[in-house]
Amino acid sequence: MLHVPGVLSPDEVRELRAVIDAAAWEDGNATSGKQSALAKANRQLPEVSDTARQAGAKVREAVTRSPLFMAAALPHTVYPPLFNRYGPGQTFGDHVDNAMRFQRDQGIRVRTDLSATLFLAAPDDYDGGELVVEDTYGAHEVKLPAGDLILYPASSLHRVMPVTRGERVASFFWIQSLVRDDAKRTLLFDLDVAIQTLAQDAGLGAPAIVSLTGTYQNLLRMWAEL
């Protein structure tokens, strides 16, 4: 799991919310399978609506501007971002995201290596609504400032806790990475962060930094899938 702060600025969040809040929302189960429908209670912007596509394009542009997101995700394809909201009593129980996502009208097919949630409501605006992601180290609750993003393996069991006050609004989407394996992708990310940290003192042209950068690129060349 990785917290990516400041994907959207406060002004960008306000502008995006003004657009999506004025749109017509539908039952979130309009796009659910039978299993998800048993656990899911929320509202969602229609995936093929002009509002969802325009707002999603802004989110996709914003995440590709984030060096931290790009280093961690190594995106091959970012699925067009979607938008949901949870009011009092609404929740999404335990589930694992589908391995593949299709948007047939745009010819988009994505293997869901990573899931991302971009929070669009301030934590003080609602109670409950925590994203809970489970891994081998237990359950992790996530409730981030508006404009911040959480990135985590799509294979994780996760849920959204019931909202008891206010409204939780977010964008969510999936990423097909150039590097499918979580462990290899994490190793590349750790190596990238270490290189950048060392380069602050030694400089990018230092022989050790050049050697480590070459190692990073060769590992990426070995593991990337185009």
Domain 2-177, classified CATH 3.20.20.70, yes or no: no
pLDDT on residue 13? 98
**Contacts of 91 by beta carbon, 8 Å cutoff, 6+ apart:** 39, 41, 42, 159, 160, 161, 162, 163
Two tokens, residue 144? 């981030």
Two tokens, residue 93? 């129980």
**In whole angstroms, what separates CA 173 from the centre of its chain?**
5
In order along its 226 residues, the chain shows pLDDT tens digits of 999 999 999 999 999 999 999 999 999 887 666 666 678 899 999 998 999 999 999 999 999 999 999 999 999 999 999 999 999 999 999 999 999 998 877 778 899 999 999 999 999 999 999 999 998 889 999 999 999 999 999 999 999 999 999 999 999 999 999 999 999 999 999 999 999 999 998 888 899 999 999 999 999 999 999 8
Sign of the torsion formed by the C-alpha atoms of 194, 199, 205 and 206: negative
Q: What DSSP designation does 162 have?
A: P
Is residue 30 within 8 A of residue 46, CB to CB? The reply is: yes
Q: What DSSP designation does 197 have?
A: H
pLDDT on residue 35? 66
pLDDT on residue 90? 96
Q: Helices 50-64 and 10-21, interaxial angle, to 10°? A: 160
| Strand-pair category, 168-177 with 75-78 | antiparallel
